[in-house]
Amino acid sequence: METSAKEIWNECLAIIKDNIPAQSYKTWFLPIIPLNIDNNLLTIQVPSPFFHEYIEAQYIDILSSTLKRTMGQNAKLAYRVVVDSGRKNNFAQNNNSQQGSMLLPGTNPSNTRHTFNNINNNINNNPKTFNVQSPQNQQEPTIRNPFIIPGIKKININPQLNPNYTIDNFIEGECNRLGRSAAEAIVNQLSKTPFNPLLIHGDSGLGKTHLAQAIGNSIKNMHPEKLVLYVSANKFQTQYCDAVRSNNRNDFIHFYQILDVLIIDDVQEFAGKQSTQDTFFHIFNQLQQNGKQIILTCDKNPSELKGLSKRLLSRFRWGLVAEITVPDFETRLNILRQKAYNDGINIPEDVLEYIAENVISNVRELEGALISLLAQSTLNRKEITLELTKSIMEKVVRKPKNEFSLDYILKVVCNYFKMTPEILNTKSRKREIVQARQLAMYFAKTLTTNSLAVIGMQIGNRDHSTVLHACKTIEDLLQTDKQLKAIYDEIETKLKFANNNY
């Protein structure tokens, strides 16, 4: 007997449930209704176009692999969007042209770009379908054959840019004025500005990636023939290691040297990776000398960056160093207005103001708040009002997620042991000093997202293997040594509650 849509979907749900947070599962998967299955095509019903887009943006990987697991490699999925607006079975139109226009945090544009084929889907018997692709295909498209040597014909490469990031939709405020103006200047007078490199720095979620990619997009629009490439420092590093392993180091360098515009995101990730830095230094010089534009982003001012060679840091300061800071209320409000407008959703001004007043840390959280609100209003079929906003924001947004800084951890730990941070840098094997150093490293590892190399550099001036060893030691001792556990607990409390006193 054929397996029914419901049975298949239940199997999928069982897998998905184990792999995503319970709240997300409840919000995004329980409301889905499996409708029917025809050959390899499973049709599911979702309650709104927004819901559909959100699933597509956030959960396509898990959905795709789960369906393949339960239905086989040729599994296909079709959505039917049914908005309950009072009338039953009112099939909503789901406009193809809007696909991918909604900007969700963490959205990988390639998901929406290549998961759908363009079957028109306005009416119920012709639902929107897409082929379920393997998860590998869902990831960032890799640079196809990065090591091509240019021949007589100019080569073309995929710039790896997210088209949703534009300068126009990068709202200007005091917080980003310098960077944004520099971006415009670079685009309008390519290779003629002194802003080379342009280094954009600032905390997470403030728009560094957006602005850097926006420059790439504008240049590509104005000069389609220019070779533009966006790459994260991590990806650059991985590609480099692969190239070295396969004896292609020269090709790698050559590939990067033929670019017209190179955008490297999060260069702090180069910390401690000497050989990658050397290679990048080489590429950097070559591009600079040839008047090619370099754009870098970084989570710190170069003067505070640890683990990068002096010569590289000095190059970073040759052009323009532009900081992006936290946006003020007006800018936050403008960002929200724009997001709502772009998503075609009418949101009362008092609601936007309420969000702008309460979500102050960064733009990513601001967007997250708006998305939660839209999701909840869609799911519960409630109108977006100030009251609804307040109730949701209390639950969703007010989570203090700020990461501790390494400096702060160092100060709190040293303060506890009544010693100066510098003493941790000495070679002393005194038990108390070793313990303080190891605890500080352990807190840094568990409470921040810094790499072992960076932690080692800032705490104790040691290498990453020492940090690893310290973390392992503390982890073991916490299980067996009650005294250490008590110290650990006390420092942890201080870290979490003494935030303003340091």
Give the Cα separation of 292 and 150 in Å (integer). Answer: 17
**Which of ligand ADP, Mg ion, none sits in contact with 206, Cβ below 5 to 8 A by type?**
ligand ADP
- What is the size of the binding site for ligand ADP (CB under 6 A)? 18
Burial class of residue 204, CB neighbours in 10 A (0-12, 13-18, 19+): middle
Residue 336, interface with ligand ADP (CB under 6 A)?
Answer: no
Task: Name the one residue in this structure whose structure tokens are 């290691």.
Answer: 241
Bridge partners of 129?
78
Closest contact distance (angstroms) between CB of 288 and ligand ADP is 24
Angle at alpha carbon of residue 239, lines to 235 and 243, rounded to 5°: 170
Check if the beta carbon of residue 63 is closer than 8 Å to that of residue 100: no
* Coil/strand/helix, residue 33: strand
Report d(CA 457, CA 461) in Å as an integer: 4
Closest distance to Mg ion from the beta carbon of 179 (Å):
13
* Alpha-carbon dihedral angle through residues 10, 12, 18, 21, given to the nearest 10 degrees: -90
Closest residue to Mg ion, judged by C-beta, is 209
Residue 127 site contact among ligand ADP, Mg ion, none (CB < 5 to 8 Å, cut-off depends on kind) = none
Q: Which of 78, 190, 206, 392 lies at the binding interface for ligand ADP (CB under 6 A)?
A: 206
Q: Can you give the three-state secondary structure of 425-465, one letter per residue?
A: HCCCCCHHHHHHHHHHHHHHHHHCCCCHHHHHHHCCCCCHH
How far is residue 39's CA from residue 35's CA, in Å, rounded to a whole number?
A: 13
Number of Cβ atoms within 10 Å of the Cβ of 76: 17
For the bound state, the minimum distance from the C-beta of residue 361 to ligand ADP, rounded and expressed in Å, comes to 12
Among 34, 49, 205, 307, binds ligand ADP (CB under 6 A): 205
Are the beta carbons of 287 and 263 closer than 8 angstroms? no
**Residue of this chain nearest to ligand ADP (CB atom):** 207
> What is the closest distance, in whole angstroms, from the C-beta atom of residue 335 to ligand ADP in the complex?
5
Using rule CB under 6 A, residue 105 touches ligand ADP: yes
Of Mg ion, ligand ADP, none, which one does residue 229 interact with (CB within 5 to 8 Å by kind)? none
Give the residue with the Cβ less far from ligand ADP, 210 or 411: 210
Q: For residues 353 and 201, is the Cβ–Cβ distance under 8 A?
A: no
CB of 295 to Mg ion, least distance (A): 13
Q: Is 367 in the site for ligand ADP (CB under 6 A)?
A: yes
Is 181 a binding residue for ligand ADP by CB under 6 A? The answer is no
Asked if residue 94 binds ligand ADP (CB under 6 A), the reply is no
DSSP string, 334-403: HHHHHHHHHTT----HHHHHHHHHH--S-HHHHHHHHHHHHHHHHHTT----HHHHHHHHHHHT----PP
CB atoms within 10 A of CB 484: 18
Q: For Mg ion, give the closer residue by CB, 43 or 209.
A: 209
Nearer to ligand ADP, 232 or 279 (CB): 232
Stretch touching ligand ADP by CB under 6 A, among 126-134, 343-351, 361-369, 415-423:
361-369
Q: Which structure tokens are listed for 81?
A: 């969007």
Q: Report if residue 162 touches ligand ADP, rule: CB under 6 A.
A: no
Distance of CA 62 to the CA centre of its chain: 18
- Nearest distance from residue 297's CB to Mg ion, in Å? 6
Helix (H) or strand (E) holding 238: helix 233-245
Binding of ligand ADP by 171 (CB under 6 A)? yes
- Residue 209 or 331 with smaller CB distance to Mg ion: 209
Region 441-460 residues binding ligand ADP, contact defined as CB under 6 A: none
- Per CB under 6 A, the segment of 206-214, 244-252, 398-406, 453-461 that binds ligand ADP is 206-214
Residue choice 209, 237, 376, 377 for contact with Mg ion (CB under 5 A):
209
Tell whether residue 209 is a contact of ligand ADP (CB under 6 A): yes
As a whole number of angstroms, the distance between CA 288 and CA 64 comes to 43
Least Å distance between CB 305 and ligand ADP? 16
Residues that bind Mg ion (CB under 5 A): 209
The binding site for ligand ADP (CB under 6 A) comprises 103, 105, 169-171, 176, 202, 204-210, 335, 363-364, 367
